[in-house]
Amino acid sequence: MGSRKKQMADAIKEGKKQVAFAKLNNCPTSPRKMRLVADLVRGEKVEHALNILKFNQKEASGRLEKLLLSALANWQAKNEEGNIEEAGLIVKEIRVDGGSMLKRLRPAPQGRAHRIRKRSNHVTIVVGAKNNTES
């Protein structure tokens, strides 16, 4: 019974070895603007995604490019013998969630005040091998 559990644990560990992720928390960009860029690279090969982000003019693309490079470094650390080009890595998942909001007041006519919401977001990128799509 114990050996079967060990086999299952080893299988799960091997599956997790093929996937790496990186997080960016409290990025001072609105989630809506970040999602425009994130949608461009979702499901793309890593090399193609890096090219898209490098030549995109939006500010969010620079931050996502740095985050994707971090996820690649994390994958490289898990798989010392693996080569990124041969592995055929893709951007499996990219998620942009809303973060904390800074609330500020702006003067408005007739003594009123309007609330300004300075939004931030949390981004999570998951990269993995293309043949391992069931997890």
Ramachandran region of residue 88, left (φ > 0), alpha (ψ -120 to 50) or beta?
left
pLDDT of res. 80 = 82
Global pTM exceeds 0.95: no
8 Å CB contact between 130 and 19: no
Of 100, 98, 97, the closest CA to residue 124 belongs to 97
Q: What is the CB-side half-sphere exposure of residue 77 using CA atoms within 13 A? A: 9
pLDDT of res. 115 = 97
Q: Where are the domains of the chain?
A: 19-129
Q: Classify domain 19-129 at the CATH superfamily level.
A: Ribosomal protein L22/L17 (3.90.470.10)
pLDDT of res. 1 = 54
CA 68 to CA 34: how far, in whole Å?
Answer: 14
- Mean pLDDT, 10 residues at a time, the chain of 135 residues: 77 80 96 97 95 96 96 90 83 96 97 97 93 50
